[in-house]
């Protein structure tokens, strides 16, 4: 028997203290290990900086967007359209009302705080010529095709957007035509003009509505 073992055996108090010290040391080391393991795990659950940036508002430069052209960007992982409508296309919008399911956009497919959207006039935009939409069909989530030319689909086609999946049709304000599968107009995301040629998509000027969502994506 070693001297240390003999000393512990002959001194129960010393033996108990040694056991307590060993237990504390083991628990401390174990706790450090758990914390060290947990921290990376918790960090892995947090959104990355890239994900945060992707979900935030985006700047859209429309300085080179000519009349009749459509550009695509992304916000919150969803495609966003900006359409520069021609004078002829704007003039044709009121003639579409009798064909539409929701001509005055009464369904909340646009932020209610956006008082500057022209819903009664049918443009669904801040500036008449520029339309900003989430380009996801409100039926089952397909991306519609841009078909602006009248008669390019059939003789009655006035120009607009066509969903290639199930045939839903929208006019050049993103308003859905009646008697087609899609139940709602295409969403208008929160946005405002930082300048004449720069649109901030994903928020209003006062910072509100960054978490806004339409009835259906």
Indicate whether 206 belongs to any domain.
Answer: no
More confident residue, 23 or 212: 212
Verify that 75 and 111 share a domain, yes or no: yes
Q: In this predicted structure, which of 41-50, 116-125, 140-149, 152-161 has the lowest mean pLDDT?
A: 41-50
Tell me whether residue 90 is in a domain: yes
Look at residue 194 and give its three-state secondary structure: strand
In a domain, 211, yes or no: no
The dihedral through the CA atoms of 159, 160, 163, 169 has a sign that is negative
Judged by DSSP in three states, 43 sits in helix
Mean pLDDT of 41-64: 67
Number of structural domains, the chain? 2
Q: Is the pLDDT of residue 155 over 80?
A: yes
My answer on whether 87 and 189 are in the same domain is yes
| CA–CA distance, 176 with 160 (Å, rounded to integer) | 10
Give domain status of residue 26, yes or no: yes
**What is the average pLDDT value for the chain, to the nearest integer?**
83
State whether 10 and 71 are in the same domain: no
Residue 18, domain member (yes or no)? yes
Same-domain pairing of 41 and 108: no
Task: Flag whether pLDDT at 198 surpasses 50.
Answer: yes
Comparison of pLDDT for 89 and 208, the residue scoring more: 89
pLDDT band at 213 (very low <50, low <70, confident <90, very high): confident
User: Is position 207 within any domain?
Assistant: no
Query: Looking at the structure, do residues 194 and 107 belong to the same domain, yes or no?
Result: yes
> Do 88 and 174 fall into the same domain?
yes
Answer yes or no: do 162 and 55 share one domain. Answer: yes
Residue pLDDT, tens place only, 78-121 = 999 999 999 999 999 999 999 999 999 999 999 999 999 999 99
How high is the pLDDT of residue 216? 74
User: Could you tell me if 36 and 97 lie in one domain?
Assistant: no
Provide the strand spans (E) within 76-213: 78-84, 130-134, 145-147, 160-162, 169-170, 191-195, 198-201
pLDDT, tens only, 8-21: 445 555 555 555 55
For residue 208, being part of any structural domain is answered with no
CATH code: domain of residue 148: 2.102.10.10
- Do 73 and 119 sit in the same domain of this protein? yes
- Distance CA(10)–CA(188), nearest Å, equals 84
Q: What mean pLDDT comes out for the span 182-208?
A: 95
Tell how strand 160-162 and strand 145-147 pair up. antiparallel
Residue 117: what are its φ and ψ, rounded to 5°? -75, 135
User: Does 59 share its domain with 40?
Assistant: no
Min mean pLDDT across 40-44, 84-88, 175-179, 182-186 is at: 40-44
* Same-domain status, 59 and 163: yes
Q: Are residue 151 and residue 94 in the same domain, yes or no?
A: yes
In a domain, 127, yes or no: yes
Range of the domain at 35: 3-45
**pLDDT, position 156:** 86
């Amino acid at each position: 028997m070693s001297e240390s073992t003999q000393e512990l055996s002959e001194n129960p108090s010393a033996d108990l203290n040694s056991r307590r010290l060993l237990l504390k040391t083991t628990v401390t080391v174990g706790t450090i290990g758990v914390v060290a393991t947990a921290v990376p795990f918790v960090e892995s659950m947090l959104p990355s900086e890239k994900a945060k940036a992707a979900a935030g508002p985006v700047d859209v430069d429309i300085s080179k967007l000519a009349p009749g052209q459509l550009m695509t960007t992304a916000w919150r992982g969803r495609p966003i359209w900006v359409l520069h409508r021609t004078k002829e296309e704007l003039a044709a919008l009121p003639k579409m009302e009798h064909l539409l399911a929701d001509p005055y956009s009464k369904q909340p497919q646009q932020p209610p705080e956006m008082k500057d959207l022209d819903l009664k006039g049918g443009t669904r935009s801040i500036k008449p010529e520029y339309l900003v939409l989430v380009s996801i069909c409100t039926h089952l989530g397909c991306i519609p095709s841009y078909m602006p030319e009248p008669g390019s689909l059939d003789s009655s086609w006035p120009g607009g957007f066509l969903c290639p999946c199930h045939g839903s049709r929208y006019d050049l304000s993103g308003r859905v035509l009646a008697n087609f599968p899609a139940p709602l107009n295409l969403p208008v995301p929160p946005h405002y003009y930082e300048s004449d040629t720069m649109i901030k998509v994903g928020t209003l000027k006062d910072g509100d509505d960054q978490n806004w969502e339409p009835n259906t994506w």
